[in-house]
Structure 1
Amino acid sequence: EFSKALFYHQKALEIFQETLPENHPDLAITHNNIAKVYNSTHEYNTAMEHAQLAIGMIQRKLIDNHPRFIEYRNLIEEIRKKL
Protein backbone atom coordinates (compact mmCIF):
# COMPACT_ATOMS: atom_id res chain seq x y z
CA GLU A 1 0.00 0.00 0.00
CA PHE A 2 1.64 3.19 -1.24
CA SER A 3 0.19 5.58 1.33
CA LYS A 4 1.46 3.46 4.20
CA ALA A 5 4.89 3.09 2.58
CA LEU A 6 5.09 6.83 2.02
CA PHE A 7 4.13 7.52 5.64
CA TYR A 8 6.91 5.30 6.98
CA HIS A 9 9.55 6.59 4.56
CA GLN A 10 8.67 10.18 5.46
CA LYS A 11 8.82 9.33 9.16
CA ALA A 12 12.25 7.77 8.63
CA LEU A 13 13.36 10.88 6.75
CA GLU A 14 12.28 13.11 9.66
CA ILE A 15 14.23 10.99 12.13
CA PHE A 16 17.31 10.84 9.91
CA GLN A 17 17.26 14.60 9.32
CA GLU A 18 17.25 15.15 13.08
CA THR A 19 19.95 12.61 13.92
CA LEU A 20 22.29 12.19 10.95
CA PRO A 21 24.76 14.57 9.33
CA GLU A 22 23.74 16.28 6.10
CA ASN A 23 24.37 14.12 3.00
CA HIS A 24 24.46 10.89 5.02
CA PRO A 25 23.88 7.84 2.77
CA ASP A 26 20.75 6.85 4.73
CA LEU A 27 19.18 10.20 3.84
CA ALA A 28 19.89 9.58 0.16
CA ILE A 29 18.44 6.07 0.35
CA THR A 30 15.30 7.39 2.02
CA HIS A 31 14.84 10.18 -0.53
CA ASN A 32 15.24 7.61 -3.29
CA ASN A 33 12.66 5.34 -1.68
CA ILE A 34 10.23 8.25 -1.40
CA ALA A 35 10.87 9.08 -5.05
CA LYS A 36 9.99 5.50 -6.00
CA VAL A 37 6.69 5.70 -4.13
CA TYR A 38 5.75 9.01 -5.75
CA ASN A 39 6.76 7.63 -9.14
CA SER A 40 4.47 4.65 -8.57
CA THR A 41 1.58 6.93 -7.68
CA HIS A 42 2.16 9.11 -10.77
CA GLU A 43 3.24 12.15 -8.76
CA TYR A 44 6.20 12.74 -11.02
CA ASN A 45 7.20 16.27 -9.99
CA THR A 46 7.46 15.29 -6.34
CA ALA A 47 9.20 12.06 -7.32
CA MET A 48 11.76 14.06 -9.29
CA GLU A 49 12.41 16.40 -6.35
CA HIS A 50 13.27 13.49 -4.07
CA ALA A 51 15.24 11.64 -6.75
CA GLN A 52 17.38 14.72 -7.39
CA LEU A 53 17.99 15.19 -3.68
CA ALA A 54 19.08 11.56 -3.41
CA ILE A 55 21.52 11.66 -6.30
CA GLY A 56 22.87 15.03 -5.16
CA MET A 57 23.75 13.53 -1.80
CA ILE A 58 25.65 10.57 -3.22
CA GLN A 59 27.27 11.88 -6.38
CA ARG A 60 30.15 13.47 -4.47
CA LYS A 61 30.81 10.23 -2.60
CA LEU A 62 30.35 7.53 -5.24
CA ILE A 63 31.93 6.98 -8.63
CA ASP A 64 29.69 7.15 -11.71
CA ASN A 65 29.65 3.40 -12.22
CA HIS A 66 28.73 2.52 -8.63
CA PRO A 67 25.52 0.42 -8.60
CA ARG A 68 23.68 2.81 -6.28
CA PHE A 69 24.58 5.84 -8.40
CA ILE A 70 23.41 4.00 -11.53
CA GLU A 71 20.14 3.03 -9.80
CA TYR A 72 19.45 6.63 -8.77
CA ARG A 73 20.34 7.97 -12.21
CA ASN A 74 18.06 5.41 -13.88
CA LEU A 75 15.17 6.44 -11.65
CA ILE A 76 15.67 10.08 -12.64
CA GLU A 77 15.62 9.10 -16.32
CA GLU A 78 12.48 7.02 -15.81
CA ILE A 79 10.71 9.93 -14.11
CA ARG A 80 11.96 12.44 -16.70
CA LYS A 81 10.33 10.40 -19.48
CA LYS A 82 6.99 10.65 -17.69
CA LEU A 83 7.09 14.41 -17.08
Structure 2
Amino acid sequence: MGEYSKALSFYEKAREIQEKTLPANHPSLATSYNNLGFLYENMKEYSKALSYFERALDILKVSLPPNHPHLESVKESIEMVKKEL
Protein backbone atom coordinates (compact mmCIF):
# COMPACT_ATOMS: atom_id res chain seq x y z
CA MET A 1 0.00 0.00 0.00
CA GLY A 2 3.08 2.21 0.07
CA GLU A 3 2.78 3.35 3.68
CA TYR A 4 6.36 2.46 4.45
CA SER A 5 6.92 4.86 7.33
CA LYS A 6 3.84 3.56 9.14
CA ALA A 7 4.89 -0.05 8.53
CA LEU A 8 8.42 0.72 9.69
CA SER A 9 7.12 2.19 12.92
CA PHE A 10 5.00 -0.87 13.69
CA TYR A 11 7.72 -3.36 12.74
CA GLU A 12 10.27 -1.53 14.89
CA LYS A 13 7.89 -1.50 17.87
CA ALA A 14 7.26 -5.22 17.47
CA ARG A 15 10.99 -5.92 17.26
CA GLU A 16 11.71 -3.81 20.36
CA ILE A 17 9.06 -5.67 22.36
CA GLN A 18 10.37 -9.03 21.20
CA GLU A 19 13.96 -8.10 22.03
CA LYS A 20 12.85 -7.31 25.59
CA THR A 21 10.65 -10.37 26.09
CA LEU A 22 12.21 -13.19 24.04
CA PRO A 23 15.57 -14.93 24.13
CA ALA A 24 18.09 -13.39 21.71
CA ASN A 25 17.90 -16.39 19.38
CA HIS A 26 14.13 -16.90 19.31
CA PRO A 27 12.72 -17.64 15.82
CA SER A 28 9.99 -15.00 16.27
CA LEU A 29 12.67 -12.37 16.63
CA ALA A 30 14.18 -13.62 13.38
CA THR A 31 10.78 -13.14 11.76
CA SER A 32 10.76 -9.52 12.88
CA TYR A 33 14.20 -8.94 11.38
CA ASN A 34 13.09 -10.68 8.20
CA ASN A 35 9.97 -8.48 7.97
CA LEU A 36 12.13 -5.38 8.37
CA GLY A 37 14.40 -6.72 5.64
CA PHE A 38 11.47 -7.06 3.26
CA LEU A 39 10.27 -3.58 4.11
CA TYR A 40 13.66 -2.03 3.41
CA GLU A 41 13.95 -4.07 0.22
CA ASN A 42 10.61 -2.66 -0.95
CA MET A 43 11.87 0.81 -0.07
CA LYS A 44 14.95 0.07 -2.23
CA GLU A 45 17.25 0.53 0.78
CA TYR A 46 19.17 -2.60 -0.03
CA SER A 47 22.06 -2.26 2.41
CA LYS A 48 19.64 -1.95 5.34
CA ALA A 49 17.61 -4.85 3.98
CA LEU A 50 20.74 -6.98 3.77
CA SER A 51 21.65 -6.19 7.35
CA TYR A 52 18.24 -7.27 8.65
CA PHE A 53 18.14 -10.41 6.52
CA GLU A 54 21.61 -11.40 7.74
CA ARG A 55 20.57 -10.90 11.36
CA ALA A 56 17.48 -13.05 10.76
CA LEU A 57 19.67 -15.75 9.22
CA ASP A 58 22.09 -15.67 12.16
CA ILE A 59 19.23 -16.28 14.57
CA LEU A 60 17.65 -19.01 12.47
CA LYS A 61 20.94 -20.88 12.10
CA VAL A 62 21.08 -21.45 15.86
CA SER A 63 17.36 -21.87 16.52
CA LEU A 64 16.23 -24.15 13.68
CA PRO A 65 17.49 -27.40 12.17
CA PRO A 66 19.84 -26.88 9.21
CA ASN A 67 17.32 -28.21 6.69
CA HIS A 68 14.45 -25.96 7.79
CA PRO A 69 12.79 -24.17 4.85
CA HIS A 70 12.94 -20.75 6.57
CA LEU A 71 16.73 -20.85 6.35
CA GLU A 72 16.62 -21.29 2.58
CA SER A 73 14.01 -18.56 2.22
CA VAL A 74 16.15 -16.02 4.07
CA LYS A 75 19.24 -17.06 2.11
CA GLU A 76 17.32 -16.43 -1.11
CA SER A 77 16.30 -12.99 0.14
CA ILE A 78 19.94 -12.20 0.90
CA GLU A 79 20.99 -13.21 -2.61
CA MET A 80 18.23 -11.10 -4.18
CA VAL A 81 19.28 -8.03 -2.22
CA LYS A 82 22.97 -8.56 -2.98
CA LYS A 83 22.13 -8.46 -6.69
CA GLU A 84 20.64 -5.00 -6.19
CA LEU A 85 23.70 -3.59 -4.39
TM-score tier by shorter-chain length is over 0.9
3-state secondary structure, aligned to 1:60: helix
Matched residue, 2:75: 73
Aligned equivalent of 2:15, options 6, 13, 16: 13
CA distance in 2, matches of 1:69, 1:22: 17
Q: Which moved more, 1:66-75 or 1:26-35?
A: 66-75
Identity of aligned residues (%): 39
Q: What RMSD, in angstroms, separates the aligned Cα atoms of the two structures?
A: 1.1
Count of residue correspondences: 83
User: TM (normalized to structure 2)?
Assistant: 0.90
Structure 1 gap ranges (5+): none
Matched residue, 1:24: 26
Shift of 1:69: 0.9
Contact 2:25 2:62 in 1 (8 A): no
Structure 2 gap ranges (5+): none
User: TM (normalized to structure 1)?
Assistant: 0.93
2:44 equivalent to 1:42:
yes
